[in-house]
Structure 1
Amino acid sequence: MLSSTVVIRRAGALLRAMRPHHWIKNVVVVAAPLFALALNVGTLFRVGWAFVAFSLTASAFYLINDVRDIEEDRKHPVKQHRPIAAGLVPIPLALAAAAVFLITGLVGSYFVAPWLAVAILSYAFIQAGYNLGLKEQPILDIMIIAGGFVLRALGGAAAAGVPASGWFILCVGLLAFFLGIEKRKAELKALGEDADTRSVLQVYSISWLRRMESVVTASALMSYALWTLEGADTPWMLVTLPFVAYAIFRYQYLSENGKGESPEEILLRDPGMLLSSILWGVVAFTILVMTGSP
């Protein structure tokens, strides 16, 4: 029988392997109900569960991915310290926890809103494909990252029972695609000659990613601008465009210095990104309230 000390240590290591700092990505579930001004007690509970369900599902695949990539991770200068690669979490424990998380997230979501369960199931499906080999396919790997954000946004809308316009989904998808490109660029810059620790990075090049970056950046900014004028409930949302533009260009600057590998950490630690996000939220919410939208 394991001692209480060992159990506590393994529980702590398992929590780290779940990557709770990545859960901030799931805040996207709040976007649709926030813009619809539909955040009451009942909605907050349902959207809160959507956040939990996506977090559990994401953590399940982090565990599965770390088990599958254990040998590659042990060669990586940073990933070698992950709990599973370092031997702190036994593989059977990681897989059992992943199964529990997946079932809990899916079943719980069905009782909250059937379409939320569909979003969770779709998210699990693309994550399974990602872990089974699509993450080694250039372009597709970034598209899956973007698709995950779109499904989060759709899941939040389903949980709250509010519509998600095509403009809204387009903005989320393009901004997420931009983040995926910046993530790959930062990884290449950070690893340099050690890029062979991840096979897909051998296909990408900085020059190629910069060309993709130029197209997607322009598309994301234009789609957001058009959404504020055509898709939002009030054209006053155009006032928030400078904050989005600053955040995008700030992230480009950070990725040029090899600091964009983890978007969630950049958002929380970089003063410029954090301030622009807060100001965007405050201004957007004020506009929606003052104009009586929707």
Structure 2
Amino acid sequence: MSIANWNPSKLTLVVDLDDTLIQTDSLLENFWLAWSVKWQTPIEAVRTLARGRLALKQKLGEISAIDPARLPYNPEVLALIEQWRERGGRVALVTGATQAMADAVALHLGIFDAAHGSSGSINLTGARKARFLDETFGPGGYSYIGDAPADFPVWQGAAGAITINSSKAFQAKVERLVADAIHLPARKARLADYIQAMRPHQWLKNVLVFLPMLAAHQFGLATALQAVLGFLAFSLVASATYILNDLLDLSADRAHPRKCLRPFASGRIRLVHGTWMVPVLGAAGALVALAGGIELFAVLCLYSALTIIYSVKLKRLAMIDICALAVLYTLRVLAGSAATGVPSSLWLLAFSMFFFFSLAAVKRYAELVDGAATGRSIATGRGYCVDDRSIVGNIMVSSGLVSVLVLALYANSEPVQQLYRHPEFLWGVCLVLLFWSNRIALMTHRGAMHDDPVVFAMRDRTSLCCGLIVGLLAFAGTVA
């Protein structure tokens, strides 16, 4: 059966909002957006929830308002609404979201004859929505598009039923309520989507935990296994923080030409799943860190706390965000020391801070160059305007040069004479790093940089060749 068999003069097509018209949940959208605006949001949300879900929706709406233009709309539902309108049928948006949210979506799309949402003390869901529809359109005077068990009472009084993203069992229950129900295609997240959300390619950054043992030439099996524990712990927690950052950045990501394709921003993964993935991955990482020792656990906790503060606040503060990113990189090095018991030398820490400061500046400079190319005057969700790119570019280049200088001074220091048979090979490392850092700056200036320089380096043949040469030079200096 199709809507062609329905009489548009007698029926109103009623459309639900969450996970139906939009491929997301407006309550969770509002929660994450509100948290990105106000760090106290989780505390206020817990307090407000004691007064009910409607009070929570209204409170979150007071803190921040969702931009309906950036929501991921379901193309199948939009196409069906257009078909119904072409036949002269009326369409109404009826949702458990607030009235303000319903009005904003209806105004943006311009395809609804009426929009009704929760207001006052009435949460327009389940049986309350069913009674409202019977009173407004009359029993059997509407067909309803929905997706959740809470919609069963609505379908009991509806003349027609349309489901979306539903299982076979769910569809069978609806068909027992409404004969000849219509089922739009199910949108199922793939395993690959969840893996992409965890960003395993970013785990490459966590090889920094091996740096202290490599720099000190401590290659024992026990030391390596402890470093592996540190790597696993940081990878799990890093994935949790990446997901957290994506949830907080939903609106900004949807305004970005590439980030809008991320699993949560595009609506491929439900926000409720991402909300659970954060604590599960974080807890798993914490357990692995505890197995590696209390010092590793302490560094991981510090890393997690700083990452959350960065995601909620610091990333919107110019220059502070770059400093925070550099510290987060360097904490991985310190985690390697905590896991293996091999201390990080002052030389290593000095090089790390300047080198990672440069990489953090590359990340921001790439966003500003991209903004200039697309005609934007500010970097969405950041504390910079496009005109700042010359200053950020200078920071990017100068920090990279200072890191090479530190390495050059280290190559002539006393510890090197003890660790390397032929320390002169380290001057070759300095030359390669000098070339690579300046090439990265040039590529970024030309707009050829990925959103993340580490991802760019993984896919760039020249960068991979530079990494291989650095490894060979270090090995030659040790054994030649």
1:176 aligns to 2:356 (yes or no): yes
Which of 208, 216, 220 is residue 36 of structure 1 equivalent to?
216
The number of residues matched between the two structures is: 288
| Structure 1 counterpart of 2:388, from 205, 214, 224 | 205
CA contact (8 A) 1:187 1:258 kept: no
Kindly report structure 1 stretches of 4+ aligned residues shifted beyond 4 Å. Answer: none
Gaps of 5+ in 2: 1-165, 169-185
Identity %: 27
**Which of 417, 436, 443 is the matching residue for 1:247?**
436
Q: Normalising by the residue count of structure 1, what TM-score does the alignment of the two structures yield?
A: 0.90
Q: Determine which structure has greater relative contact order: mean sequence separation of CA pairs < 8 Å that are 6+ residues apart, divided by chain length.
A: 1
Residue equivalent to 2:367: 187
What's 1:48 paired with? 228
Larger Rg: 2
Shift of 1:113: 2.3
Q: Distance in 1 between matches of 2:402 and 2:254?
A: 38
- Pick from 237, 245, 257 the counterpart of residue 446 of structure 2: 257
Could you tell me which runs of 5 or more consecutive residues in structure 1 were left unpaired when the two chains were aligned.
Answer: none
Calculate the TM-score normalised by the size of structure 2.
Answer: 0.57
Decide which moves more: 195-204 or 274-283: 195-204
Aligned residue for 2:458?
Answer: 268
Cα distance, 1:18 vs structure 2:
1.0
Aligned-pair CA distance for 1:23: 1.2
Which SS does the other structure have where 1:85 is aligned? helix
Q: How does 1:92-241 map to 2 (within 5 A)?
A: 92-192=272-372, 193-194=375-376, 195-202=378-385, 205-230=388-413, 231-232=415-416, 233-234=419-420, 235-236=423-424, 237-241=426-430
The 1:188/1:266 distance shift into structure 2, 3 A limit, reads same
Q: Secondary structure at the match of 1:189?
A: helix
How much does 1:64 deviate? 0.9
Going from structure 1 to structure 2, the CA distance change for 1:228 and 1:9 (only over 3 Å counts) comes to same
Give the direction of change, closer, same or farther, for the CA distance of 1:214–1:65 in structure 2 (3 Å limit): closer
With over 3 angstroms needed to count, the CA separation of the structure-2 counterparts of 1:12 and 1:186, relative to structure 1, is same
Show CA shifts across 1:109-154 (max 9, x none).
1221222112211110110110111000011111111111111111
| Inter-CA distance 207–196: structure 2 relative to 1 (3 Å threshold) | closer
How far apart, in 2, do the equivalents of 1:289 and 1:113 lie? 33
2-side partners of 1:108 and 1:269: how far apart? 30
Choose between structure 1 and 2: higher helix proportion: 1
C-alpha deviations, 1:32-65, integer Å up to 9, x for none? 1112222333222221121111111111011111
Q: Secondary structure at the match of 1:259?
A: coil
Deviates more, 1:50-59 or 1:199-208: 199-208
Q: Distance in 2 between matches of 1:2 and 1:59?
A: 29
CA RMSD of aligned residues (A): 2.1
The answer to whether 1:82 aligns with 2:262 is yes
**Superposition pairs of residues 9-20 of structure 1, within 5 angstroms:** 9-20=189-200
For each residue in 1:183-231, what CA deviation from the matched residue of structure 2 results, as whole angstroms up to 9, or x when unmatched? 1111111222234433323276122113323432332121111122225
User: What's the offset of the Cα at 1:7?
Assistant: 10
In proportion to residue count, which structure has more strand?
2
